[in-house]
Amino acid sequence: MRSTSKKLSVTLMAFGIAIAMRTTMVGQAGPAPQEPRPSPAIDLSGYWSPAVNEDGLERGAGSELGDYAGFAVNEAGRLWALSYDPSRLTLKHHQCDGYVAPYQMRAIGNFRIWEDRDPHTVQLIAIHIWAQTTEGHRTIWMDGRPHPPAWAPHTYQGFSTGRFVGDALMVNTDHLKQGWLRRNGLPESDQATMVEFIVRHGDHLVDTTVVNDPVFLTEPEVRSNDFFRQPADHGAWLYACDDGEQIIGRPPDSVPNYSFGAQPFAKEYSRKYKIPLLSGIAGAPSIYPEFETKLKAATDADALPLLKPAPGPSPISRAIDPEPSDGEIHVWPVSGNVYMLVGDGGNIVVETGDQGPLVVDSGSGQLTGKIIKAIHKLSDKPIQFIVNTSYLPDRTGGNVKLRASGHDPSLVGSFFSGQFRDAGVGATIMAQQNTETHMVEAKLPADGYPTDTFLEDRRRKYHNGNDVEIFHEPHAITDGDSIVQFRQADVIVAGDIFNTTQFPFIDIKDGGSVQGEIKALNDILNRTVFQHEGQGGTMVVPGHGYLADEHEVVEYRDMMVIIRDRVRAMIKDGATLDQVKAARVTADYDTRYGANRGPWTTDMFVEAVYSSLRNPEK
Amino acid sequence: MHRHHLFRALICSTAAISIAFAQPPGVGQPPGPPPAPRAAAPIDVTGYWVSLVTEDWRSRMTVPPKGDAESVPLNPEGRKAAQAWDPAKDEAAGEQCKAFGAAGIVRRPGRMHITWQDDNALKVEYDAGTQTRIFHFGAPTGNGGDWQGVSVANWDIPGTIMTRGGFGLGANGGANRGGALKVVTTKMKAGYLRINGIPYSDNVVITEYYDRFDIPNGDSLLLVTTEVTDPMYLTAPFWTSTHFKQQHDAAGWNPTPCAAR
């Protein structure tokens, strides 16, 4: 042992001397060539405060409504902003909205930055940024890990990875929630991504943000934010937000908004500063120098058409499809013993434990074999229960095979097994009675029909350590919809009542309605609890799309209420369906949810809203 | 005991490495001339750059009302001077370029054209107000007294690891860390930070950093971080960061005369 250490010592000395000699010899031969090396870290650690020498009004008290100058917003973004009423922030589910990362870096407020390093290798794992405003906590992963899949949840701060490029920390962020580009209503969608470059010159830090948002922007939005270093903790932090009632007795389906063209403050901004109305709403041209000249000749006539949707066809969604189409089933852990399975059309939820799995919905039926295999990896027990949230094909398509693969031991040896030979054979399928009725009407395979139906508002069951509650939502997508809540795991399965991929599929002929859909979304919101600053906590599994929490449901509910308000106002004024369609009442949501082909187009959605409001359910 | 051997060996080997790295290449030989600033450039700032007016939009694209100094840390003297702004008077005095001096020109909507005037100086032309600045590396030249003053440039290579006497454990000694262009400008005529007469004095000192970022979508950005220090009119340094997007050609290059309003 002693001999080994001597050898090691000699080796180390020789190694050091060899390197020293090599360095000197290289020097003798002339200037050493610059070898590319991995750029070492710049140190961002410490306490930082923003230098608010730019856009002080925006970042302090807040910009005026109608001031969207310098943003490359498209029609949808502009109209979304013009429809926004700041009173929306009085709604309980918006009071604690966080700031999305790009706006967080722009907001006024102090920051703390620190590093996580592996205690054994000292390698940089992550850089953390804690923001005073809305207590946003960003984690920038520096260890080369991949970004999560498209069906993973979105957060206000998003998912960030970084690397050092030259003297900058370059950060890529995605999986952002919907939030602000500017908090006077200018939206940034949940499809936005951000590239950042953070540089430090002495005690001056600059974070340049480049936001790409295919839904609301026509080109990347570049901004840069300055920070100065504090010598110590400034001790000026905030506290976690709690919501509460701001307006007592307000109807639950009220979302403050302005009809297109009715925003009273857009003109106020231009008149206050004696600048053309076009100033605030021109979009990308307003960013470039040529606009300075154009503005001098601008009149209200140039701007007025921009306050309403342009006539013509509606654009389609520019959002990425979060559902995989690789023919595989992918499992995403939701919370506790609850998992989301994606890949076979609609999302499927599996709850596991010491009893057989409880499965919510069975997908389209195309990949049921792989679904069964995936469930068997999560549990060695046969599927015991299947719950259908509606009769629709993407909810019930795999019922037959899934049921056949399962077994409900609670029926074996019971009274039923003496009465029915097949008691306990196959999984028990639960659903609201109307779901079974529609399946029979649609002549779907009988082996897939629910075997345990209910008629009233709530069905409950304690299973696998969860209080499992099934709530009937009458007249939402159909008249047989349910949502399923796992209390201990804190998960709600929304079925097609909520999704992140399209306008809600309101099936009027089978009992769906706009008012019922809004009520169902509010019922979900009445059962969610956020963890911190309006996000996390109760997770909501959509029928289609990425795993969500209450924020996505709130935005979806808002959309439904706003579009309903527009259509209802037009009906009140005697508008026909064609006139409603021509008014493009969904214009601010088309680039997010619109479709002009496939099973559910924008026109079909507008027709459903119109029809539902013209012929309200009794 | 064997741990002591190991530790001594580690110290010796590290010392040898550190001393070697602490010495400049070619120790014992006549030192070669340092590369010219142009050859030593860690980043390429040359080309046509168009300003992206996404911040302070109203104060840059329009002429704000007199006294509107939003976000500028003016002291009482500065506010008084801002209230005295009289563009007609500036025009009559032939001083339409007061908002196009070195402390304000970067914020004007327009394009920059940056070229190497020679191996030791960068020339920066602005189409807004048809202005030119020269960034000299090394000793300053000229006496200033005009709108653009005298600018001294150097390459700012951040974060050279400090060691004590060249004997440090793991000293990095200036690896390839990227860098920025640093420019310090003084000796200007008094002018305006903004077109509506927000003042700076002839004692102003402007420190700028030019950072270049290449975005994955193929665009390149130039970030100009500016610190304006002017005890006469400001209560604190005035910081702005202005970004430009690179153009592949001179499209849109449109030299215009200064305008006072």
Taking the C-alpha atoms of residue A101 and residue A198, their distance in angstroms, rounded to an integer, is: 14
Across residues A57-76, what is the average pLDDT? Answer: 94
| Closest CB to A23 among B21, B71, B72 | B21
User: Considering the domain boundaries, does residue B168 fall inside one?
Assistant: no
**pLDDT score of A9 more than 50:** no
pLDDT of residue B159: 58
Which residues 417-456 in chain A show a CB within 8 A of chain B? none
Helix (H) or strand (E) holding A152: none
Multiple choice CATH, A330-550, 3.40.47.10, 3.10.150.10, 3.60.15.10, 3.30.590.20: 3.60.15.10
pLDDT tens for each residue of B195-220: 999 999 999 999 999 999 999 889 99
pLDDT of residue A14: 45
Looking at the complex, does the CB of residue A203 fall below 8 Å from at least one CB of chain B? no
**pLDDT score of B172 more than 70:** no
| Closest CB to B2 among A1, A197, A206 | A1
Across residues A519-544, what is the average pLDDT? Answer: 97
Rounded to a whole number of angstroms, the distance from the CA of B106 to the nearest CA of chain A is: 12
Every domain of chain A and the residues it spans:
94-230, 330-550
At A239, the pLDDT band (50, 70, 90 cuts) reads confident
pLDDT of residue A403: 97
Give the best residue of A17, A53, A225, A287 to mutate against chain B (max B CB count within 10 A).
A53
Which residues 210-239 in chain A show a CB within 8 A of chain B? 210, 212, 220-226, 228
At A464, the pLDDT band (50, 70, 90 cuts) reads very high
pLDDT of residue A40: 54
| Closest CB to B13 among A16, A34, A57 | A16
**pLDDT score of B173 more than 70:** no
3-state secondary structure of B110: coil
Across residues A435-460, what is the average pLDDT? Answer: 96
Q: Which two tokens stand for residue A468?
A: 């499992």
Q: How many CB pairs under 8 A join A and B?
A: 229
At A422, the pLDDT band (50, 70, 90 cuts) reads confident
Which residues 77-106 in chain B show a CB within 8 A of chain A? none
Give the best residue of B3, B18, B21, B54 to mutate against chain A (max A CB count within 10 A).
B54
Secondary structure of A417-457 in the HEC alphabet? HHHCCCCCEECEEEEEHHHHHHHHHCCCCHHHCCCEEECCC
Rounded to a whole number of angstroms, the distance from the CA of B137 to the nearest CA of chain A is: 19
pLDDT tens for each residue of B106-146: 999 999 999 999 999 999 999 999 999 999 998 888 899 99
pLDDT of residue A232: 93
In chain A, whose CA is at the least distance from the CA of B61? A292
| Closest CB to B25 among A8, A31, A290 | A31
| Closest CB to B56 among A37, A54, A200 | A54
Across residues A43-68, what is the average pLDDT? Answer: 93
- Beta carbons of B61 and A168 less than 8 Å apart: no
Q: Which two tokens stand for residue B161?
A: 């690891």
pLDDT of residue A237: 85
- The DSSP line for A316-360 is ---SPP-S--SS--EEEEEETTEEEEESSSS-EEEE-SSS--EEE
Give the best residue of B71, B112, B195, B220 to mutate against chain A (max A CB count within 10 A).
B71
Q: Which two tokens stand for residue A469?
A: 């509650």
Give the best residue of B130, B241, B245 to mutate against chain A (max A CB count within 10 A).
B241
Across chain A, mean pLDDT equals: 92
Across chain B, mean pLDDT equals: 87
Across residues A445-455, what is the average pLDDT? Answer: 96
Across residues A41-60, what is the average pLDDT? Answer: 91
pLDDT of residue A1: 39
At B160, the pLDDT band (50, 70, 90 cuts) reads low
- The segment with the largest mean pLDDT, out of A37-51, A400-414, B225-239, is B225-239
**pLDDT score of B22 more than 60:** no
**pLDDT score of A560 more than 80:** yes
Give the best residue of B11, B239, B253 to mutate against chain A (max A CB count within 10 A).
B239
In chain A, whose CA is at the least distance from the CA of B180? A167
To the nearest 10 degrees (0 to 180), the angle between helices A2-28 and B2-22 is: 10
In chain B, whose CA is at the least distance from the CA of A269? B58
pLDDT of residue B20: 40
Using an 8 Å CB-CB cutoff, list chain A residues near B72. 53
| Alpha helices (H) in chain B, listed in sequence order | 2-22, 57-61, 76-83, 87-92
pLDDT of residue B19: 41
First to last CA, chain A: 90
pLDDT of residue B28: 56
- Beta carbons of B57 and A70 less than 8 Å apart: yes
Rounded to a whole number of angstroms, the distance from the CA of A426 to the nearest CA of chain B is: 53
- Percent over 70 (pLDDT), chain B: 81
Rounded to a whole number of angstroms, the distance from the CA of B245 to the nearest CA of chain A is: 9
A447-455's contacts with Cβ under 8 Å and 24+ in sequence apart are A447/A399, A447/A400, A447/A403, A447/A404, A448/A362, A448/A396, A448/A399, A448/A400, A448/A403, A449/A399, A450/A388, A452/A428, A454/A430
Rounded to a whole number of angstroms, the distance from the CA of A32 to the nearest CA of chain B is: 7
pLDDT of residue A33: 39
pLDDT of residue B31: 73
Rounded to a whole number of angstroms, the distance from the CA of B140 to the nearest CA of chain A is: 22
Which residues 256-295 in chain A show a CB within 8 A of chain B? 273-275, 279, 286-292, 295
User: Considering the domain boundaries, does residue B1 fall inside one?
Assistant: no
pLDDT of residue A28: 36
**pLDDT score of B165 more than 80:** no
Rounded to a whole number of angstroms, the distance from the CA of A27 to the nearest CA of chain B is: 4
- Which residue would you say has higher pLDDT here, A237 or A588? A588
Taking the C-alpha atoms of residue A368 and residue A447, their distance in angstroms, rounded to an integer, is: 15
pLDDT tens for each residue of A245-277: 899 999 999 999 999 999 888 888 999 999 999
Q: What is the pTM of this model?
A: 0.91
pLDDT of residue A424: 74
Find where tokens 């005295």 sit: B84
pLDDT tens for each residue of B77-101: 999 999 999 999 999 999 999 999 9
pLDDT of residue A234: 83
Give the best residue of B169, B176, B208, B240 to mutate against chain A (max A CB count within 10 A).
B176
Any idea which of A433-437, B29-33, B243-247 has the lowest mean pLDDT? B29-33
Rounded to a whole number of angstroms, the distance from the CA of B193 to the nearest CA of chain A is: 12
Total structural domains within chain B: 1
- Beta carbons of A5 and B5 less than 8 Å apart: yes
pLDDT tens for each residue of A339-389: 999 999 999 999 999 999 999 999 999 999 999 999 999 999 999 999 999
Taking the C-alpha atoms of residue A157 and residue A155, their distance in angstroms, rounded to an integer, is: 5
Rounded to a whole number of angstroms, the distance from the CA of B43 to the nearest CA of chain A is: 9
At A19, the pLDDT band (50, 70, 90 cuts) reads very low
- Beta carbons of A40 and B175 less than 8 Å apart: yes
Task: Tell me the residue type at B22.
Answer: A
Taking the C-alpha atoms of residue A93 and residue A253, their distance in angstroms, rounded to an integer, is: 12
Across residues A163-173, what is the average pLDDT? Answer: 94
- Beta carbons of B55 and A42 less than 8 Å apart: no
ipTM of model: 0.89
Across residues A178-197, what is the average pLDDT? Answer: 97
To the nearest 10 degrees (0 to 180), the angle between helices A514-525 and A602-614 is: 100
- Which residue would you say has higher pLDDT here, B212 or A12? B212
Taking the C-alpha atoms of residue A149 and residue A324, their distance in angstroms, rounded to an integer, is: 9
Using an 8 Å CB-CB cutoff, list chain A residues near B26. 27-28, 30-31
Taking the C-alpha atoms of residue A211 and residue A225, their distance in angstroms, rounded to an integer, is: 14
Looking at the complex, does the CB of residue B152 fall below 8 Å from at least one CB of chain A? no
User: Considering the domain boundaries, does residue B169 fall inside one?
Assistant: no
Using an 8 Å CB-CB cutoff, list chain A residues near B227. 204
pLDDT of residue A523: 98
At B162, the pLDDT band (50, 70, 90 cuts) reads low
Which residues 33-92 in chain A show a CB within 8 A of chain B? 34-37, 39-40, 42-43, 51-57, 67, 69-71
- Beta carbons of A31 and B13 less than 8 Å apart: no
DSSP assigned state of A84:
B
Q: Is A6 left (phi over 0), alpha (psi -120 to 50) or beta?
A: alpha
- Beta carbons of B15 and A16 less than 8 Å apart: yes
Question: Which structural domain range is residue B146 located in?
Answer: 43-158+176-247
- Beta carbons of B53 and A286 less than 8 Å apart: yes
